[in-house]
Structure 1
Amino acid sequence: MDTTMSEGFIRRVRQFLPKSRGDKVAFAFLVVCIHLIFYFEQFRVLPEIYHQPCLASYLHTAFMVFVYINTVGNLFMMMNVDTTTGSHVLPSVLKPGWHFCASCEANSPPRSFHCWECSTCVLKRIHHCTFTGNCAAWANERYYMVFLLYMSVGAVYTNVMNFDYVWDVMGGLNMKSFLTMLAPLVMWLAGAAKAHTFFVSLMSMICLIGGAFSLILFYFHTKLTLMNRTVFEFNKRIGDYDLGWRQNLEQAFGTRWPWVWLFPLLPSPLPGNGLEFPVSSDVSEAVKDM
């Protein structure tokens, strides 16, 4: 009995873990960076700013833990939610707006596409995220967006916190510090930078590059969410599902959309079933009827 349960749990975990080698490497890099940055800020930078425990240091710690929990929690939830059409009973007759997927050998609903990385059709497929090894889609858009939100918040926060500390460690702005920030590994291997300086410059570079990447992604996907579009619909200029910003947010984040940023386990049921979606013409007709 225990063996059967263990095997079932392992199969479930493997189902949602990245499948391709590239996704596995990107996911491992992301997870390591998140934990390294948390360690760096909490146990290296913060003690240098506040040499003794005080109210400010406690508030910083509380904020960092809050951001960390929401980042990791939403990442886990995004990967653990079933985004595929497999859990739905699909009709054998091709309905209007549906299409046949030759790979899955099944009818696929509107806004759904086959993902070659996930090897399945995905409901309202927004795009495939290499760093999570999963598709951002109808069922997990909430978790993906809040994950990007806290990655962006954490990036801005860490870069502001790091500035004075990194400046002191690097010895101000000069050619050596510039080259160390640009290529920390090369400078360390060449003996031009100490191990501590290498680690600090590496963490600073990860925070800067990762922060810029997170902010760009968050801006772009916030734009998509407010327009209720997938990446495909954005590229093809399809705006049929734009219901207005408030309803678009509810479509993405659920009925409790103003509060989902607080905690990843907060229930927020999504309207609909992922197979059918209201279009803007339906909203216009409803307003006319009123």
Structure 2
Amino acid sequence: MSGRIELERRADGVAVLWIDNPAHRNALNNALIDALTGHCRSLAADPSCRVLVMRGRGGIFCAGRELRDLRALQDASNDTIVATYEKLKALNEAVWFCPKPTVALIEKYAFGAGATLSSWCDIALSEEAALFAYPEVHHGFPPSPALMALFLAVGRKKAMELVLTGRRIDALEADRIGLITRAMPAASLEVELEKLLAGLLRSGPDAVARTKQFVWHSDESGHRASMATAVDSISLGLASEQAREGIAAFFDKRVPKW
């Protein structure tokens, strides 16, 4: 299969996963999905990794899924088809349940699997001219793996229009409806990414992980249960060593030592 996933490790604790499949505009195939999942799981368990960034080589994020993979699947057994989509589910879970902040940097295209990958990330920055779409219905199958994160991001009405029509939207509209965090001129993308990363790295790693754990719980619970869990979450967090260091650093007028 074509392409590869490149892992770039920075000295500040940022890990960058580069999608590199230029022959197919960085579309994902089975091997790339497996590689992304493996890296996400490894980095989630690595205390030296503070932030995970996903982006594409050649100024393109990800143009979707290689359709030749799907065409080959059509002649396979149902068990094989299910096993293949279990791999995509594993990737979605690895991104969504990563205890480190996950950031998608969108350039040019985020179609299909690319839009799905972006939507499962915590934060998505995009150049204004980038295009987003869920075109699966145009190929005769549903974009089911994207829907849970899409509903959380934009709500049912907007989500249904996007997935039932496959309409392309630019990053400005994606920003307006909540599909991404922020759209900006292409020339500002790298600068804004570094500003975001600086803010994330300033945050206590334990506090970030506890915050994400609470968000996962809240997504699956009612308001009353979440309010009760919030008490436990902040109480345990306040008693942690990192909270002691963070508060001490505030009074000492210094940067916390995480």
The TM-score, its normalising length taken from structure 1, stands at: 0.22
Higher relative contact order (CA 8 A, sep 6+): 1
Q: For the pair shown, which has the larger CA radius of gyration, 1 or 2?
A: 1
Bigger proportion of residues as strand: 2
